[in-house]
């Protein structure tokens, strides 16, 4: 039930308003003047304030200023006589939600109040959803503990809260958009829009209009003016996926936006200024594209202020068990499945497969397994045929887990990790720093893993 404060030096009108609101289920509190109204606001929470504009001493504008400056979640509605409509309009400019003219009717009062309550609810829902997005796309929620991913997380932490342009490079399916979202939602721009556009998915003839908007009549079919993605992203972040697919002509216009933060709509003459951070991604070799004259060198250096190279899944195989566990939980919630883990042979196959489609391919493989497997433990024959038929290969430094019998998923992961650590310690004569280097992780990470694995002090120095 919403709580409403009524501030009015006219007791009869205040009682009338209170009765109307109470009949509709609202809780109302009365204050006879602006000073006592502000005191109520300082000591109690109110969803809505209805204040008379003309009052002796502390007037309605003073109340409004207090609400706008100190109680951003509270909405304020001005009550005014016909002679002060001009003042009410000024109050709207200063932050009032709306105004109601006196004498007040029940219908008008309830319409305005209900509109304010609904607007406040939508604002709160919007804030809640933004917080969820920020939490969901924070880099701390990206799955990976390998050295390569730790380096990326560290870099995101350093650059997120800046306006530096970032070029994210890596093959398809490695999670480049996740990295871009993490940068945006960990930045001071997170409350503003993140606008994503795939430059390779939109025909060249339409991409310019998508990016910069167009004026009515700019081309056949332009029946009305339309804003572009750069205007939508004002104050926030623009993520240009597959930037390597952009035509040289559009690259010139994009370069201007990066340099001057301004552009014109297609068919327009008015210069539009925008405040946008640029993140770009590509699975192409842009250096080769520059040599082939298909990508501008000056644009490349504007975009590539910070470069993030996302590793393939084959280059971060130690993350595969973590990703499998994550995708199992994700899809089993939807499918109500009963899978508890993989047997040793199937886990060997998953770890040894080359994963040319990277994380996206692994995700699809786990989804298929969850849908088709009706066992608690996934066996080799439950894997997709292309994985069964693939030649198993482990990168240098990796060792397939040699386990006997059926074990739980967590046990298989722990055993695999323990064997990797043991092998690294043996090759480094028990010196942790050297072992960590062999495993491509930090020494502190190795020590933590050894503690979790209950290595005795005698195992290594």
The tens digit of pLDDT for each residue in 180-214 reads 999 999 999 998 999 999 999 999 889 999 999 99
pLDDT at 223: 87
- Judge contact between 80 and 53, C-beta under 8 A: yes
User: What is the rounded average pLDDT of the residues 46-55?
Assistant: 92
pLDDT band at 381 (very low <50, low <70, confident <90, very high): very high
Tens-place pLDDT, residues 389-408: 886 554 444 444 444 444 45
- The pLDDT value given to residue 165: 96
In this predicted structure, what is the pLDDT of residue 396?
A: 43
Domains, the chain, ordered by start: 3-131 (3.40.50.2300), 163-310 (3.40.50.300), 314-452 (1.10.8.60)
Res 344: pLDDT: 86
pLDDT on residue 457: 47
CA distance 284 to 303: 14
What sign has the CA pseudo-torsion 82, 84, 85, 91?
A: negative
What pLDDT was estimated at residue 336? 67
Predicted local distance difference test score (pLDDT) of residue 391? 63
CA 173 to CA 193: how far, in whole Å? 24
User: Which tens digit of pLDDT belongs to each residue from 228-263?
Assistant: 999 999 999 999 999 999 999 999 999 999 999 999
Lowest average pLDDT, out of 9-13, 71-75, 123-127, 158-162, goes to 123-127
| Mean pLDDT computed over every residue of the chain | 86
- Comparing 226 with 414, the larger pLDDT belongs to 226
Q: Encode pLDDT of 324-347 as tens digits.
A: 988 998 888 766 678 888 988 898
Query: Given this model, what pLDDT does residue 133 score?
Result: 61
Neighbouring C-beta atoms of residue 387, cutoff 10 Å: 19
């Amino acid at each position: 039930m919403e709580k409403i404060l009524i501030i009015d030096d006219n007791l009869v009108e205040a009682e009338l308003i209170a009765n109307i609101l109470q009949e509709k289920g609202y809780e109302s509190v009365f204050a006879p003047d602006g000073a006592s109204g502000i005191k109520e606001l300082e000591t109690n929470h109110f969803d809505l304030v209805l204040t008379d504009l003309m009052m002796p001493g502390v007037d309605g504008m003073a109340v409004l200023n207090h609400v706008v400056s100190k109680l951003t979640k509270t909405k304020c509605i001005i009550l005014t006589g016909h002679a002060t409509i001009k003042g009410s309009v000024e109050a709207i400019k200063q932050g009032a939600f709306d105004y109601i003219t006196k004498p007040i009717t029940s219908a008008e009062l309830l319409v305005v109040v209900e509109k304010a309550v609904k607007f406040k609810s939508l604002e709160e829902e919007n804030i809640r959803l933004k917080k969820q997005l920020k939490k969901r796309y924070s880099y701390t929620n990206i799955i990976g503990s390998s050295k390569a991913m730790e380096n990326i997380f560290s870099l995101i932490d350093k650059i997120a809260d800046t306006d530096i342009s970032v070029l994210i490079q890596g093959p398809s399916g490695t999670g480049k958009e996740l990295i871009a979202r993490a940068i945006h939602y960990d930045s001071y721009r997170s409350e503003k829009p993140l606008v994503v556009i795939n430059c390779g998915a939109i025909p060249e003839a339409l991409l310019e209009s998508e990016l910069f908007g167009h004026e009515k009549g700019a081309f056949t079919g332009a029946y009305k003016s339309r804003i572009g993605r750069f205007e939508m992203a004002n104050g926030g972040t623009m993520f240009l996926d597959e930037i390597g697919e952009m035509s040289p002509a559009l690259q010139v216009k994009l370069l201007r936006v990066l340099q001057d933060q301004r552009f014109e709509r297609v068919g327009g003459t008015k210069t539009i200024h925008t405040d946008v951070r640029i993140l770009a991604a590509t699975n192409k070799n842009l250096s080769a594209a520059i040599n082939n004259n298909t990508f501008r060198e000056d644009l490349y250096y504007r975009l590539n202020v910070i470069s993030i190279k996302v590793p393939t899944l084959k280059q971060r195989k130690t993350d595969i068990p973590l990703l499998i566990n994550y995708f199992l939980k994700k899809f089993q919630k939807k499918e109500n499945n009963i899978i508890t883990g993989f047997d040793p042979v199937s886990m060997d196959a998953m770890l040894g497969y080359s994963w040319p489609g990277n994380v996206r391919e692994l995700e699809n493989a786990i989804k298929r397994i969850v849908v088709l497997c009706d066992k608690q433990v996934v066996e080799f024959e439950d894997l997709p045929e292309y994985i069964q038929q693939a030649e198993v290969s482990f990168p240098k430094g990796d060792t397939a887990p040699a386990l006997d019998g059926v074990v739980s998923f967590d046990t298989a992961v722990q055993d695999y990790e323990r064997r990797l650590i043991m092998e690294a310690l043996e090759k480094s004569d028990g010196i942790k720093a050297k072992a960590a280097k062999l495993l491509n992780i930090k020494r502190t990470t190795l020590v933590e893993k050894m503690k979790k694995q209950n290595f005795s002090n005698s195992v290594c120095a």
